[in-house]
Structure 1
């Protein structure tokens, strides 16, 4: 895999992860602002299923099954042959369809417009939410300290 391919792969992982984590309301509102909604054909209609979520103790320990999660997925092809995939948490077929359309468009000449109208605002919203959540958690932080008791 060339360096340029690795960069493109990492960029696609980033926007697909962002689309998967975004709230449905935010994603659909931003998608509604996109002027040209493309024609497409389904490769795989949206379908709801379950996946096993795995975890690792401390991020590096032995893997364990954390539990199951509902996921909706779909695949589509634009008129120019570009394929897009959508994988989202939950049961929203509409969100999966929009995620797949955005994934496909991000691989075309419309990428700059989609990045400006959907990806960048979503990223900013999610970062603001993360910052607010961190500030709220920091407000409840308790500092513990040990006093010297004078014993040797």
Structure 2
């Protein structure tokens, strides 16, 4: 993981059950303070046709946001949908990754595992989509 933005994207795209599983692996959970409890809201989504067209309002999307402070370090998350637990865990893992705490190697291992699982899930989707590709050049 090279940037915080990439890490936040990974945490938001990860399976909430995987985040929960990793959270339960901790021997001792760090103390946390809610700075913004998980809140469900909506954001406007904009689109663009063919990457070069004008922007247009596509509609709205439900998101859940959260921010926590873990041992003095703030963590943030925005996740698609209404899963408050997902938003909370993503914010906690973001804070843990930002801190210089004792859990550094454990957090790096967790993020690597989440990335590998996300890559496999995406590869599976691409493989399934490729089975229906029609080659019109034959």
Q: TM (normalized to structure 2)?
A: 0.89
Stretches of structure 2 that go unaligned for 5 or more consecutive residues are none
* Aligned-partner Cα distance in 2 for 1:48–1:129: 26
Name 2:97's counterpart in structure 1: 106
Q: How does 1:12-27 map to 2 (within 5 A)?
A: 12-27=4-19
Q: Is the 8 A contact 1:87 1:96 kept in 2?
A: yes
Which of these residues, 13, 24, 27, is aligned with residue 32 of structure 1? 24
After superposition, what is the alpha-carbon deviation per residue over 1:55-114, rounded to whole angstroms, capped at 9, x for unaligned?
Answer: 1112332111112111111111123x2111121111111111111110100011233311
Larger radius of gyration: 1
Stretches of structure 1 that go unaligned for 5 or more consecutive residues are 1-7, 147-152
Name 1:115's counterpart in structure 2: 108
The number of aligned residues is 136
* Aligned-partner Cα distance in 2 for 1:101–1:61: 38
Which of these residues, 77, 83, 102, is aligned with residue 74 of structure 2? 83
SS of 1:106's partner is helix
Q: How does 1:2-151 map to 2 (within 5 A)?
A: 11-79=3-71, 81-109=72-100, 110-116=103-109, 118-145=110-137
Stretches (4+) displaced over 4 A: none
CA RMSD of aligned residues (A): 1.7
